[in-house]
Amino acid sequence: MKTTLLTIAMVLISIYSSGQQPVTSEKDTLRKDALNVYMEASDYIKEQIPFVNYVRDRMVADLIIIKTLEGTGSGGSERTFFLEGTGKCGGMRDTISFSTSPDETYEQIREREAQLLKMGLIRYIMKTPLSDYIDINFSQPIQQEVSSDKWNSWVFRAGMNGMLNGESSYKSSNISGNFSANRVTSDWKININSRYSRRMSEYEIGDDIYTSNTNTANVNALIVKSINEHWSYGGSGSVSSSTYSNYDLSVSIMPGIEYDIYPYSESNRRQLRILYSIGYNYNNYTDTTIFNKTSEGLMVHSLSGSYEVIQKWGSIDMSVSWSNFLRDFSENRLSVFGSLNWRVAKGLSINFGGSYAFVHNQISLVKGGASSEEILLRRRELATSYNYFTHFGFSYTFGSIYNNVVNPRFGGGGGGGMVIIMN
C-alpha cells in the first residue's frame, strides 16, 4: 500500500513539474534579449513599440527616457525625449523632439510621438539581437516650401464658460470669459491675456437668505526681448478690478531684466533664473482702506529666483520671490515655493511640496474689517501675516519588473482605458 501511494505521488509530482517547466521559444528568447527601457509609457506607446521591455526599475534598464513638455507660442507644445543609455548602452545619449500645433488632435499627436520614439530607439536596439528584425522604410517627404505667415506668428484665443447648480437651499451661477493674444519668436515673447468672472451664490438658512456676489476682471501683458542665451529684458503690465480685494481699478507697470545661469536652450531640462523688476502701481479702491486711502500711487520693486531641474531620478522645482513698496520697506511680501518628485528606490516614488508666504503688504484691506457674512462667504480679503499650502504623497509598486502587456477589457486597471492629459 505504501509503495502504491509513493508511486502515485511521484507520478503526480512528475506531471506537475512537467506542466510548470517553461517552454523556450524563439519569441521568448527575443523578449529576454529585448532592450530594457525605463519610461512613463502610455498604453498606446506599448502597443506601437512592442519590441522593447518596459521595466519598472531603472536599475535594470538599458535605456532611460525622460519626457518633457513646454508650451509654444502657437498654443501647441514642444515635446522632448531625453534618451540616456546605461549598462550595455552606457555612454549613449540623444535628445529628440517635435512641436505640435493647437489644431492637431490627440490621435495625431500620439502617432507622431510613437513615430519619433521608434526612430530614436534604433541605435540602441542595434545593441541587441532584435536588430536583425528591424526594417526601416522611407516615405516621400513633403516639399520644402516656405509660405509667408499672414498672422506674423500671432495666435489669438477666445472662450466663454457658464455654470449653474443648486438644490433646495442653495443655488449658484458663474459666468466667465477670456481672450488672449500671443506672439513667440526666438527674439520676442509677447503674451496678452484678459479674463472676466462673475460668481453669484444664494444660501437659504431657515427664514434668512444670504447672497454672495463677486466680480473679477483683469488684463495682463508681458513683453520680453532676448539679448543672448543668458540675458533678456522686458516688462509686465496689468489692469484689474476685484470686489474681493477692494479694487475698483488697479494698474501696474513693471519693467525688468532676467538672467539664466544655464542657457535658455536647456530650459526644458534645467533652469536657474534671477529676475529683478521695478515699476509703478496705481490703485483706486472701492471702499476706504485701513490707511484711510481711496486711491494712491506707489513705486514697487521685486526680486525672484527660480530653479527647475528634470533628471532620471525625478524633478525639482523651487522659487523664491520678494517684493515691497518703496515708500516703506516694512510693506513687503516674501514667498517660497518648492516641489520634489523623487524615485527613491525600486518601485518607490514620493512627491511633496508646498508654499509659504510672509504677508505684510495688504494695503487694500477695507477699513472696519469684514462682516460675519463676508467672512463666511469669503467675499472679502482678510488680514493675515502669512499663508501656506502643502501636499505629500507616495506610491510603491512591486512584482514583475516587466510591463509590456496592454489589456483594455472592462476598463479599469491592468492597462485598460484611455487617459488624456491636458496641460
What per-residue string of b and e applies to 204-230 under the rule 16 or more CB within 10 Å gives b? eeeeeeeebebebbbbbbbbbeeeeee
Which pLDDT value is given to residue 125?
87
C-alpha cell read off for 78: 514642444
CB 60 within 8 A of CB 89: no
Shared fold status for 27-133 and 154-396: no
What are the DSSP calls for 173-221, one per residue?
EEEEEEEEEEEE-SSEEEEEEEEEEEEEEEEEETTEEEEEEEEEEEEEE
CB atoms under 10 Å from CB of 63, counted, come to 26
How far, CA to CA in Å, does 248 sit from each of 198, 251, 283, 287, 369? 15, 10, 8, 9, 18
Query: How far apart are the C-alpha atoms of 88 and 308, rounded to whole Å?
Result: 30
Rounded to the nearest 5°, which phi and psi values hold at 122?
Answer: -55, -50
**According to the CATH classification, is domain 27-133 in 2.40.160?**
no
For the chain, the structural domain boundaries read 27-133, 154-396
Query: Count of alpha carbons within 13 Å of 377, Cβ hemisphere only?
Result: 21
pTM: 0.65
C-alpha cell read off for 32: 529576454
Interior angle at CA 31, CA 29 and CA 36, nearest 5 = 130
Interstrand relation of 170-184 and 154-167 (parallel, antiparallel or unpaired): antiparallel
**According to the CATH classification, is domain 154-396 in 2.40.160?**
yes
Pick from 229, 321, 224: which is nearest to 271 by CA? Answer: 229
Per-residue pLDDT of the chain (423 residues; tens, 9 = 90+): 555 555 555 544 454 444 444 444 555 566 778 888 998 888 788 888 888 888 877 888 889 998 888 877 777 788 889 999 988 888 899 998 888 877 777 778 888 888 899 989 988 988 888 878 877 776 665 443 435 667 887 889 999 999 999 998 889 999 999 999 988 888 889 999 999 999 998 888 888 888 888 899 999 999 999 999 999 999 999 999 999 899 999 999 999 999 999 988 887 778 899 999 999 999 999 999 999 999 999 999 999 999 988 777 788 999 999 999 999 989 999 999 999 988 887 778 899 999 999 999 999 999 988 777 777 777 788 889 999 999 999 888 777 666 655 566 665 545 444 443 333
Which pLDDT value is given to residue 19?
47
C-alpha cell read off for 155: 495666435
How far is residue 399 CA from its own chain's centroid? 29
Query: How far apart are the C-alpha atoms of 363 and 328, rounded to whole Å?
Result: 12
